[in-house]
């Protein structure tokens, strides 16, 4: 049994399409205006969010290596801890490479750091559910706040960094 559409639905569809087209055009005009105002980063220009991102990478890399070398007990490590130290070292190298790449305005470095930030904020958000004390909860919320702010702020920096041109196959 086929139901008949409610009265006025046929008349509403063209109106909805017109409203959607109007909103879409306004949105695209705003986007074009914002894109026109963006200027590429100068080689020596490092906006505040970029500086915070670079500093965050370096602080985390240095603190990870320092804690590992000072004998800090790594969780989930095997009996000699070799695998845990390899992981800490590899992650620290990735952070240093990201910091250097962001300093040089490399699009891939900023994009990779954005991915790490998104993953960190997601994990911190999920960790709120299992926080066992107030300190853990505050730490999770601080990571979410700082990571979220940095992620949002780096979007405009990424827009100003010139993405490399695609190479043509020979």
User: Does a structural domain hold residue 29?
Assistant: no
User: Does a structural domain hold residue 78?
Assistant: yes
Q: Note whether 61 and 97 are within 8 A (CB).
A: no
Per the rule left: phi > 0, alpha: psi between -120 and 50, beta: everything else, 130 is: alpha
User: Does a structural domain hold residue 134?
Assistant: yes
User: Does a structural domain hold residue 119?
Assistant: yes
User: Does a structural domain hold residue 90?
Assistant: yes
What is the reported pTM? Answer: 0.74
User: Does a structural domain hold residue 15?
Assistant: no
Domain holding 139, by residue range, is: 48-160
Q: What is the pLDDT along the chain (170 residues), one digit of tens a residue?
A: 667 666 665 555 667 777 777 788 888 888 888 777 778 888 899 999 999 999 999 999 999 999 888 877 766 555 556 677 888 899 999 999 999 999 999 999 999 999 999 999 999 999 999 999 999 999 999 999 999 999 999 998 998 887 556 566 66
pLDDT score of 30: 86
User: Does a structural domain hold residue 168?
Assistant: no
Domain count, the chain: 1
User: Does a structural domain hold residue 12?
Assistant: no
């Amino acid at each position: 049994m086929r139901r008949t559409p409610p009265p006025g639905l046929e008349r509403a569809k063209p109106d909805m399409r017109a409203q959607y087209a109007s909103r879409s055009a306004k949105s695209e005009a705003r986007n074009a205006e914002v894109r026109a105002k963006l200027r590429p980063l100068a080689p020596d220009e490092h906006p505040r969010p970029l500086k915070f991102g670079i500093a965050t990478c370096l602080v985390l890399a240095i603190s990870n290596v320092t804690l590992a070398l000072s004998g800090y007990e790594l969780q989930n490590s095997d009996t000699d801890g070799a695998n845990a130290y390899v992981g800490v070292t590899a992650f620290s190298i990735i952070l240093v490479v990201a910091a250097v790449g962001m300093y040089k305005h490399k699009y891939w470095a900023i994009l990779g750091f954005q991915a790490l930030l998104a993953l960190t904020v997601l994990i911190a958000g999920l960790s709120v559910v299992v926080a066992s004390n107030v300190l853990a909860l505050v730490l999770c919320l601080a990571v979410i706040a700082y990571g979220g702010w940095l992620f949002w702020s780096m979007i405009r920096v990424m827009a100003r960094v010139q993405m490399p041109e695609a190479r043509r196959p020979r």
